[in-house]
Amino acid sequence: MGDERLALQANEKDNVATVFEEGVTAGMQVTVVDAAGNRTVHAVADDIPFGHKFALCDIAQGELIIKYGEEIGVASRDIAQGAYVHVHNLDSMRGRGDLEKGA
């Protein structure tokens, strides 16, 4: 929608941004707009579907993933800057009955 490919960083603490464009593919430059309206350009390392997230910085396995300035999960493996962040590398920390088996 327009020439720029836009993504949103909802809060300054966030280490992920959400892409709100269709057709963002690996290697493309994406303009990340933060809550204050500042714009920074990031290259994405993977295809990122509309509404999905990528890492704004390197995130090590076990580090928290932050969106809206709040914890949305934990990195289940190392995530490089620009990489796609979703259920394959982000674990939820809540509703985890599987972690309580036999506890």
Partner 1 sequence: MPSFMGYKRPDGRFGARNLVGIIPSVTCANDVAQAINRQVQGTVAYLHHQGCCQLPPDLERVTDTLISLGRGPNVAAVLIVSLGCEGTDHARMYEELRATGKPVEIIHIQELGGVTKAIRVGTDIARRLAIQVSGLQREKADISNLVMSIKCGASDTTSGVASNCVIGAVSDRLVDLGATVVFGETTEFIGGEHLLARRAVTPEVGQRIYDIVDAMETRAKSIGCDMRRGQPTPGNIAGGLSSIEEKSLGAIAKSGSRPIQGVLDYPAFVMDQKGLWIKDTPGREPEILTGMAATGAQLMCFSTGLGAPQGFPSMPVIKICGNPYTFVRMEEDMDVNAGLVITGEKSIDEVADEVFAKILRVASGEMTKNEAIGYFSAIDIHCLGPVI
At 39, phi and psi to the nearest 5? -120, 130
Q: Whose Cβ is closer to partner 1: residue 8's or residue 28's?
A: 8
Binding test (CB under 8 A) with partner 1, winner from 27, 70, 78, 80: 70
d(CA 56, CA 32): 9
Query: What's the closest the beta carbon of residue 68 comes to partner 1, in angstroms?
Result: 5
**In angstroms, what CA-CA distances link 81 with 51, 57, 75, 98, 102?**
18, 4, 13, 30, 37
Binding test (CB under 8 A) with partner 1, winner from 13, 51, 62, 78: 51
- Residues that bind partner 1 in the complex, under the rule CB under 8 A: 1-2, 8, 10, 18, 20, 22, 49-53, 65, 67-68, 70-73, 85-87, 90-98, 100-101
